[in-house]
Amino acid sequence: MSQGNLEVINLELEERRSQHSHSHTIDRLTSRGPSESSASHDSHPQKDKEDIRGEAPYSVSFPPLKTVNYLHAQDNFPDGGLHAWLVVLGSSCAAFATFGYATSFGVFQEYYESTLLKGTSPSAIAWIGSAQYALVFLPAVISGRLFDTGHLRVPLLIASINLVLCTLLVGECHQYWHFLLCQGFGVGASCGVIFGPVFSIVAHWFKKRRSTALGIISFTSSIGGAVFSVVFRNLNLTMGFKWSMRIIAFILMFVLGIANLTLRRRLPPIVASGGLFNPKQFKSPAYSVYCASGFVAWLGLYTVLTFIDVSAPSQRVSGRLSSYLVAIANAGSAVGRLSGGCIADRIGPINVMAPSLFLAGILTFLWPHLDGSGALVTLALLYGASIGAFATLIGAPMIALGDSTDVGRRTGMYLTILSLGSLAGPPISGAINRATGGYSVVGIYAGSTIMVALVLLVLSRYFVLRRWRGKV
């Protein structure tokens, strides 16, 4: 709100106070008889002067102006319009460049194992991807808090520049620790600062169509995963690794430029107690169990995306097609994300997340036992759709799990906890693969964690509704 608007509202409030005090004075004087009024004036001259000025006992208290404005803004979600949809465009570009970029790591895993980092264990290489995955979510507790207190543009700009620079540096890497530092930590942390406010800023502009807006944003993140996978695969064959990373950096520069120009807050900054990490949020059983569900789910969800390209040749899939399975999964994810958001507006986000998680768990169990191109392509599409529908909605239940004025910090805390699961999941799967020499036990491990997460998610839903049926 501009300073001019604040001055106008202050003048209106002063006028209301003056009118209110004046009406009280007139009522007192007209309700008395002439003699009573005269006697009262003679015996209490100072008191009547205080009454006319509108002071005690007839003073009127008003709530703080910022609180009145904030509550009014909260009750009037645009749910559309130019500014709201520009925010969706900017958030979509941010998700394309961050979450989409991170989920394309499967093609890098395959290339590093066979070429640049040949001889390094799959588990060690998976740490690069898992660090990147985790750091997409981990800084959210900081970026979410900064967002709540009004800081958006400066962190967004700095992280955007850093993401482009780190991507360029990946093309110059030669040793394992170079890749871990630049691609794992540098790219991941930059993505996290950008991606953190995406869910929160949509909550400023949408209420009834919030899940649809989130579905559109998540749809573009899946498109990003497919685009980066295909771009890297094809450019790496024709132009080499360095120029592949440079062109990816140029793509990032373009889409992040759009994000920096279009993202804007609607609600005023808030001051909430509790610091970056507010333990009081965990007094809510629904929120606590929801966080536990997210942590356990991501211990297993990235396993298929990380290793499906690597496992495909042993499942009678051609080398060329196997390199596109991550892109195929991301294409399926795009469909799941968009449709999941639309359906969630009708039946509730958790009611979409639960069956999606169930399907992802079943497909994870089946993954190591399938053979042939048709079976693996079908699995990639279905798995992408299920994980897409789940991932697009992880931030949508946050409004139902607490006060909307603290949604940025609450979302940030959840994403930080979730990041620990995504950090540990792929390396654990890689270690199991190295110990067993195959992916059967890996599928059992990852599928089991997803099913445990499903149970916790349903329990969280029960804590919100206090019954087993309903929209949430």
CB 424 within 8 A of CB 130: yes
pLDDT at residue 413, rounded to an integer: 84
Q: Tokens 């042993």: give the residue.
A: 314
CB 51 within 8 A of CB 29: no
pLDDT at residue 145, rounded to an integer: 72
All domains in the chain, ordered by first residue: 3-62 (no CATH), 69-272+283-465 (1.20.1250.20)
pLDDT at residue 257, rounded to an integer: 96
Q: Is the pLDDT of residue 54 over 70?
A: no
The CA distance from 94 to 299, in Å, is 25
| Cα angle: 140, vertex 423, 432; to 5 degrees | 165
pLDDT at residue 61, rounded to an integer: 37
Three-state DSSP class for residue 160: helix
- CB-CB neighbours of 223 under 10 Å: 20
Q: Compute, in degrees rounded to 10, the torsion defined by CA atoms 195, 201, 206, 207.
A: 90
Over residues 208-224, mean pLDDT: 81
pLDDT at residue 189, rounded to an integer: 93
List the single range of 15-29, 233-247, 287-301, 376-390 with lowest mean pLDDT. Answer: 15-29
In the chain, what are the helix, strand and coil shares in percent, each to the nearest 5? 80, 0, 20
Tens digit of each residue's pLDDT (9 = 90 or more) over 349-405: 899 999 999 999 999 999 999 999 999 999 999 999 999 899 888 887 887 787 666
pLDDT at residue 271, rounded to an integer: 66
List the single range of 121-135, 208-222, 334-348 with lowest mean pLDDT. Answer: 208-222
| Residues in the chain, overall count | 472
Residue type at 273 in one-letter notation: S
Three-state DSSP class for residue 355: helix
- The residue among 235, 222, 230, 227 whose CA lies nearest residue 254 is 227
Over residues 400-416, mean pLDDT: 75
- The residue among 443, 10, 90 whose CA lies nearest residue 262 is 90
CB 456 within 8 A of CB 293: yes
Confidence of residue 207 (pLDDT cuts 50, 70, 90): confident
The CA distance from 371 to 259, in Å, is 42
Q: Is the pLDDT of residue 48 over 90?
A: no
What average pLDDT does the chain have?
81
Three-state DSSP class for residue 249: helix
The winner for highest mean pLDDT among 17-21, 28-32, 122-126, 468-472 is 122-126
Q: Which helix (H) or strand (E) holds 222?
A: helix 210-238
DSSP string across 321-345 = HHTTHHHHHHHHHHHHHHHHHHHHH
- CB-CB neighbours of 39 under 10 Å: 12
CB 246 within 8 A of CB 171: yes
How far does CA 244 lie from the centroid of its chain?
A: 28
Q: Is the pLDDT of residue 201 over 90?
A: no
Q: Which helix (H) or strand (E) holds 13?
A: helix 3-31
The CA distance from 211 to 208, in Å, is 8
Q: What percent of the chain has pLDDT over 90?
A: 40
The CA distance from 144 to 109, in Å, is 30
For residue 57, cis peptide bond before it (omega within 30 degrees of 0): yes
pLDDT at residue 272, rounded to an integer: 60
Q: Is the pLDDT of residue 425 over 60?
A: yes
Q: Is the pLDDT of residue 424 over 80?
A: yes
The CA distance from 133 to 453, in Å, is 18
Residue 403 or residue 268, greater confidence? 268
| Residues contacting 177, CB < 8 A, separation 6+ | none
Q: Is the pLDDT of residue 45 over 50?
A: no
pLDDT at residue 146, rounded to an integer: 79
CB 466 within 8 A of CB 286: no
pLDDT at residue 326, rounded to an integer: 87
Identify the DSSP state of 156. Answer: H
DSSP string across 170-194 = HTT--SHHHHIIIIIIIIHHHHHHH
Tens digit of each residue's pLDDT (9 = 90 or more) over 122-180: 889 989 998 998 888 887 777 777 787 788 889 999 999 999 999 999 999 999 999 99
Confidence of residue 32 (pLDDT cuts 50, 70, 90): very low
| Cα angle: 428, vertex 125, 333; to 5 degrees | 75
